[in-house]
Structure 1
Amino acid sequence: MSAPSLNLAGKKVVIVGGKSGIGQGIARGAQAAGATVIVASRRVASAQSRPDLIGFEQVSLDMGDESSVRSAFEAIGPFDHLVVTAAPDIGSWGVFMDADMSGVRSYMEGKFLGTWACARYAAPNLRAHGSITFLSGGMAVRPKLGFTAVTSAFAAVEALSGSLAVELAPTRVNTIRPGFIDTDMWGFLPVEARAGLKKKVEESFPARRAGQAEDIAHAALFLMTNPYVTGTVLEVSGGENLVASVS
């Protein structure tokens, strides 16, 4: 038998959150591998406002609204691979001792239950030999002060992928756990702080460089095309969890 390739010619790939950051990197990687790519997000962008999205199909999908998720996958119809990268907007993170639990409810609803809903309504449309890939983060196994909701949601997403690998078999279900990835996700930081964080990553991570969206795209292509990988969490972190925290 020949080794699996990263070829996605003739396949249709749906990426929830594919308009920016890691999601867009995966969208570009899948397209380069020959796939027809659909990016799903809350708003459909015009070609004038987002020329970088020309060549991708767009579908409106709000992960926080179950009816929106259901309608989106009904419109998409049959396809081969689902990748869910979207997360709630920064500002909805819940700290454990917040005045109330609205923050954690918002984050868990958006990240964990939103991921659940995408898988739930995508599953009936997945063709034979299809796959589902989720996205978590290093805090799933390395909690940080003030990010209890994020840690809990990431860990829940990873547990969900293992459960669904059994529940939806033979559809393959996996999770990518990225480390620091240098994307616009960090745009909320001042320029100097972001540059300083990247410099610390380059100096301390065993890979001696910051991660790029293309690194996660390569991992996603591997999980989509390798027929014997399911129920796993693939860490793509440059060795982040082997060193002291940089943030």
Structure 2
Amino acid sequence: MSNLAYEQARSPAPSFDLTGKRVVVVGGKRAIGLGVAQAAHDMGAAVTVASRRRISAEERPDLASFDQIVLDIRDEAAVKAAFDSIGFFDHLVVTAGPELGSWGSFMDPDMRGVRSYLEGKFLGTWACARHAAPYLQAGGSMIFLTGGAGARAKFGLAAVTPTFAAVESLSRSLALELAPIRVNTIRPGFVDTDFWDVLPAETVEEIRAKVRANFPAKRIGTPADVGHAAVFLMTNSYVTGTVLEVSGGELLVDWIF
């Protein structure tokens, strides 16, 4: 048998099936993280979701299918304890991050905003990856989450752009350091979730209208769109060290957010 035939024979056929796999979604109780958790569960995975607050199934029936843990990724000791308690699993997805607008502006009187954002996004992602790595099973993967601002700077996002770029660089570095564990990043565009609820309703509706009018996909993104991409990255064993854009073509057009 030739080397090519041997490789093809031993490589599993592509499948989105996650039956028998265990997936941990940090930030998985709301917004994009919840979309990822639901997509993995639909494909057969046992899913653990983590966030800063435990939420009862009575309060949120949509969380009834998942195991829950309480975790603040800014606390490295808590991150280590969480993964020690979870034990061995197959796929890590880190979607957690600070709230919209929490980063402040470049000329703030102090740097508390940017320090908090870096700690909550970049260093929090780093801590999750570091303490999860010893527990990832063979064939496992990590997925991080950024956004379009990581590739295209926008006014008022001076803290966000370099932080997202750092997370994407981290995923490429870890794809080498942790191989054969695969490490990738998803870069979503505008996804319509309660993440935007801190803005006035009329502002959010204006953003939605701009997305529909300007993005090549001509529609608003959903958590399920990102969930589908995450399952692809979990199940395709030949994708690592990449940034998968799930944005409706956001970076192809000029639009004002």
TM-score normalized with structure 1 length: 0.98
Residue in structure 2 matching 1:96, options 106, 110, 129: 106
Aligned counterpart for 1:58 among listed residues 48, 64, 68 = 68
2:156 corresponds, among 129, 137, 146, to 146
Alignment-mate amino acid for residue 223 of structure 1 = L
Structure 1 segment 168-247 matched on structure 2, within 5 A: 168-247=178-257
Tell me, yes or no, if structure 1 residue 37 matches structure 2 residue 47. yes
- TM-aligned CA deviation for residue 54 of structure 1: 0.4
List runs of 5+ in structure 2 lacking aligned partners: 1-7
What is the RMSD computed on CA atoms of the aligned residues?
1.0
The residue that corresponds to 2:4 in the other structure is none
Q: Provide the rounded CA distance (Å) in 2 between the counterparts of 1:145 and 1:159.
A: 22
Partner of 1:76: 86
> What is the distance in 1 between the residues matched to 2:203 and 2:111?
29
Distance in 2 between the 1:198 and 1:151 partners?
A: 22
Q: 1-side partners of 2:111 and 2:60: how far apart? A: 36
1:163 and 2:163 matched: no
Q: Is the partner of 1:148 in helix, strand or coil?
A: coil
**Quick check: which has more Rg, 1 or 2?**
2
Q: Which letter does structure 2 place at the counterpart of 1:226?
A: N
In the alignment, structure 1 segments of 5+ residues that lack a partner are none
How far 1:200 sits from its partner (Å)?
A: 1.1
Tell me the residue number matched to 2:3: none
Alignment pair present for 1:113 and 2:128: no
Kept in 2: contact 1:201–1:246 (CA 8 A): no
- Which residue pairs with 2:24 in the alignment? 14
Checking the alignment, whether the CA contact within 8 Å between 1:41 and 1:61 is kept in structure 2 is yes
**Higher alpha-carbon deviation: 188-197 or 15-24:** 188-197
1:25 corresponds to 2:35 = yes
Report the Cα offset of residue 192 of structure 1.
1.7
Give how far 1:91 is off.
4.3
Look up the SS of the partner of 2:159 in the other structure.
Answer: helix
Deviation at 1:246, TM superposition (A): 3.0
Number of corresponding residues: 247
Per-residue Cα deviation, 1:55-86 (whole angstroms, up to 9, x for no partner): 10001111110011011001100000000000
Give 1:193 deviation, angstroms: 1.6
Report deviation, 1:94: 3.3
Q: Write the distance in 2 (CA, Å) between the matches of 1:102 and 1:146.
A: 16
Letter of the 1:202 partner, please give it: R
Deviates more, 1:126-135 or 1:38-47: 38-47
1:105-125, Cα deviation, whole Å (9 max, x unpaired): 000000000000000000000
Q: Secondary structure at the match of 2:185?
A: strand
